[in-house]
Structure 1
Amino acid sequence: MDRSIASPTLLADLGGTNVRFALADVASPSPLLLDSVQRYRVKDFDTLADTIRQYFADTGHTAKQAIIAAAGRIANGETVKITNNPWAVSAHGLEAELGLERVRLVNDFAAQGMSIPLLQTDQLQAVGNVAPPERNHKSSQTFVVMGPGTGLGVAGLLFRHGHWIVLETEGGHSGFAAHTAEDVEILHRLNARFGRVSNERMICGNGLVNLYLALADIAGQPAHEYTPEDITARANDGSDALCVRTVETLAGIFGSVAGDLVLSLGGWDGVFLTGGVLKILMPWLQRGGFRERFEAKGRFRDTMEHVPTIAITHPEPGLLGAAVLAVLDAGHHLPS
């Protein structure tokens, strides 16, 4: 990293399992300094402040401002209780504890969404046969941003008259809408376990286990104590038919939920897919079940057939989006 940068901004992408740090140079056309990226496991630290201290100690970097993209609802711009993670974070608390001049908290998928203006075409991959959309080419565009990791993140992204606007949501916690007879059977079993079944119960890493157990019960088969990694490995090598069915089912439900979000948010210009589990799921999303259920929206099928679904392949979209927010906070314009 170029240590001559006058005032770098600390970036953090905080999820349920890992936290990633990097620095941003807000005056650069490529503001995310990729060689500054470090990852830490949440379970190894008591607080976010402790982890930031470790990052500074490990790298020799310092910063006076920070943008923290966190998996959870940001209350009054000041605090967040991390979903699927024991930490709670306060912006003012971090400022006081670490001597930072300013800390801004944003939802993690708001940051993921804000990466989209700077993504290059080779960092996007179509899921299905509809080509990725042009960005900035008309005065008004609306996108959905979503993806599975430890949980299921959802955001809206709007382009209006030259400005990008992100809509922070907790849409992953919306209730699951069953569409097929198998969906209904899955819903019954998960409802018995959890009392309420959100989309996140299925479309995330642990969602693979939830679906596997439900499908084993439906089939009357004994279930093994598989991890998400076990399920995807056995699905990929074809050694366990129930694991294959599990990943196929997740891909279909993922497509159904993505299509519902297009209808709910008016995201006619496309759905950007991201998240820590996406890379593992990509071969299964491309096999057709995802797009079939994405498009199967009754009277809106003809419209949905033309809505692109695009996988983000950039290695750190959350940090890139946080860097974009740092650029805008500093009063700079994004490179065109």
Structure 2
Amino acid sequence: MRETVVVDIGGTHARFAVARAGADGAISLDEPETLHTADHASFQTAWEAFRARKGGTLPPAVSMAIAGPVGNPGNPNPVIRFTNNPWIIRPALITEKLGVERFTLVNDFAAVAHAVARADDSQFLHLAGPDKPLGSEGTISVLGPGTGLGVAHLWRSGAQYRVQATEGGHIDFAPLDSIEDAILARLRRRHNRVSVERVVAGPGIVDIYQALAALEQRSVPERDAIEIWNLGTSGQDSLAAAAVDRFCLSLGSVAGDIALAQGGFAGVVIAGGLGYRIRETLLASGFAERFRAKGRFESLMAGIPVKLIVHPQPGLFGAAAAFFAQHGEAA
């Protein structure tokens, strides 16, 4: 039995667990613990708090999934900084500060792609395309709307696979109808360049909602993203529901574009907490139709299985998979 601590670090929370790889290579996690980043002065003090909760000892290895870039080939002594919390991680000091012998650093969405590669079929909900498992050969595109839009892809051939993190959430937003033209025009008043992340990430629902209100010349109260999502998914507010449906349409378009650009013909996976929360809405929306709507390539797109990963902790599971892939199943 091989063990490592796994950590999924975001702006607000850091989730910790101990991961184990069995003799057959199967990965399991113990019960994760969530610490608020604001409650700890540094990652080291959060690590020490988790260690105390575990009785004072931890495996001498750690794998961290980090919401942001984790390496710069041109910088031999990189410093990892976070957008929404004050922690700083210096990779050169990890073994000394944490008392570990081995470590892995992985982008959070690369970790999700590792999870996709290692999760079994029961961890996926079918969304669109043929109802069959993800392909065992070729490229699988992975994207997830959350605070931003994470994008990665993996290539696999049987049991072998490779993961690549990307910044695909920052490609240009391409409207397909007059309503999306209006959404783009609204966003262009604040941003010279509008990326898909401005529309198909959680906060984008506010601009969609306001753009729809302007089209109908309606005066609506200022609402934050959480309120609009709640009103829209529950059906309590018809304009919010229209905004949610529009979000699903745009997400389908973007997912199809990502698949075309990456060659993700072995499958596409939607990840992230938002995707899971709106899964029933996605199934009932025009997501699948928009995913296929690629002109001359519509028949190609119709043959791609599109799934939603429902593993409860894909970041932690993927961090473990990345660790064992880097250090070997015998690490």
8 Å contact kept, 1:9–1:66: yes
- Specify the alignment match of 2:255 in structure 1: 258
Q: Does 1:142 align with 2:139?
A: yes
**In the TM superposition, what whole-angstrom CA distance separates every residue of 1:289-327 from its partner, at most 9, and x where no partner exists?**
111111111111111111111001110111111111222
Summarize the alignment of residues 284-323 of structure 1 with structure 2, pairs less than 5 Å apart: 284-323=281-320
Aligned equivalent of 1:236: 233
Aligned residue type for 2:116:
I
Secondary structure in 2 aligned to 1:325?
A: helix
From 152, 156, 167, the equivalent of 1:155 is 152
1:207, distance to aligned residue in structure 2 (A): 1.9
**Paired letter, 1:125:** L
Contact 1:48/1:89 (<8 A) preserved: yes
Cα deviation 1:232-267 (Å, max 9, x = unaligned): 221233221111011111111111100000110000
Distance (whole Å) between structure 1 residues aligned to residue 123 and residue 11 of structure 2: 25
TM-score w.r.t. the length of structure 1 is 0.89
Query: Once superposed, what is the RMSD of the aligned Cα atoms?
Result: 2.2
Deviations 1:184-225 (A, max 9, x none): 111111121233322112222212223223322333222323
* Structure 1 Cα separation of the partners of residues 151 and 164 of structure 2: 9
Cα gap change, 1:265 to 1:100, in 2 (>3 Å)? same
Relative distance call for 1:95 and 1:31 in structure 2 (3 A) is same
Query: SS of the counterpart of 2:30?
Result: strand
- Residues 1:59 and 1:118: Cα distance change in structure 2 (over 3 Å): same
- Name the CA distance, whole Å, in 2 between partners of 1:146 and 1:132: 19
**Cα deviation, residue 108, structure 1:** 0.8
Shift in Å at residue 168 of structure 1? 1.1
Matches for 1:217-236 after TM superposition, within 5 Å: 217-236=214-233
Q: Does 1:213 align with 2:210?
A: yes
CA contact (8 A) 1:49 1:94 kept: no
On the 8 A contact 1:24/1:326 being kept in 2, the answer is no
Change in CA separation of 1:27 and 1:251 when aligned onto 2, cut-off 3 Å: same
- Supply the AA of the counterpart residue of 1:218: L
Matched, 1:110 2:102: no
Runs of 4+ in 1 over 6 A off after TM superposition: none
Where structure 2 has 5 or more consecutive residues not aligned to the other structure, the ranges are: none
The runs of 5 or more residues in structure 1 that have no matched partner are none
| Counterpart in the other structure of 1:93 | 93
TM-score if structure 2 supplies the norm length?
Answer: 0.90
- Does 2:15 correspond to 1:45? no
Q: Deviations over 1:5-54 (max 9, x none)?
A: 6x63111112233221111223454323232x111233333332232222
CA distance in 2 between partners of 1:44 and 1:202 (Å): 32
Q: What SS does the aligned partner of 2:41 have? A: coil
Following the alignment from structure 2 to structure 1, what is the Cα–Cα distance between the partners of residues 46 and 214? 42
